[in-house]
């Protein structure tokens, strides 16, 4: 189990190093100089929609994982004298 943790930690470290090395490129891509077509309002709407989608999916999964018995046992409530 500890070996698996070391492997995952080393893979994460190597991914971090690769990302750091890629971020230090001297030559920019052609698409990096263009403006993005996403305004702050559109970005807010996308994030808000993503949050609602996640909440909907969580609720949907929880709702359909509720397990109820297929039949109920009928018992009469026994009441003795109430003083």
Q: What percent of the chain has pLDDT over 70?
A: 89
Higher per-residue confidence, 29 vs 47:
47
What mean pLDDT is predicted for residues 53-64?
91
Dist CA 37 CA 46 (whole Å): 13
If residue 29 lies in a helix (H) or strand (E), which one and from where to where? none
Is the residue at 48 inside a domain? yes
Structure tokens at 37: 């077509």
Q: What is the mean pLDDT of residues 1-13?
A: 77
Q: Which two tokens stand for residue 24?
A: 């230090």
User: Is 20 a domain residue?
Assistant: no
On whether residue 28 sits in a domain, the answer given is no
Residue 21 lies in a domain: no
What is the rounded CA–CA span in Å between residue 4 and residue 67? 36
CA pair distance 38, 64, nearest whole angstrom = 36
Number of domain units in the chain: 1
SS3 at position 65 = coil
- For residue 53, being part of any structural domain is answered with yes
* 2 falls within a domain: no
* Residue found under tokens 């026994």: 78
User: Whose structure tokens read 């929609």?
Assistant: 49
Average pLDDT over residues 33-42: 81
Residue 2 confidence (pLDDT): 61
Q: Residue 54: which domain range?
A: 38-63
**Domain-located, residue 82:** no
Indicate whether 19 belongs to any domain: no
């Amino acid at each position: 189990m500890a070996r698996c943790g070391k492997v995952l930690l080393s893979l994460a470290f190597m991914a971090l190093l690769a990302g750091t090395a890629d971020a230090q490129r001297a030559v920019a891509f052609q698409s990096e100089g263009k403006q993005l077509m996403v305004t702050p309002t559109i970005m807010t709407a996308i994030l808000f929609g993503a949050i609602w989608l996640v909440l909907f999916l969580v609720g949907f999964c929880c709702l359909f994982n509720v397990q109820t018995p297929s039949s109920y046992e009928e018992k009469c409530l026994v009441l003795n004298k109430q003083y």
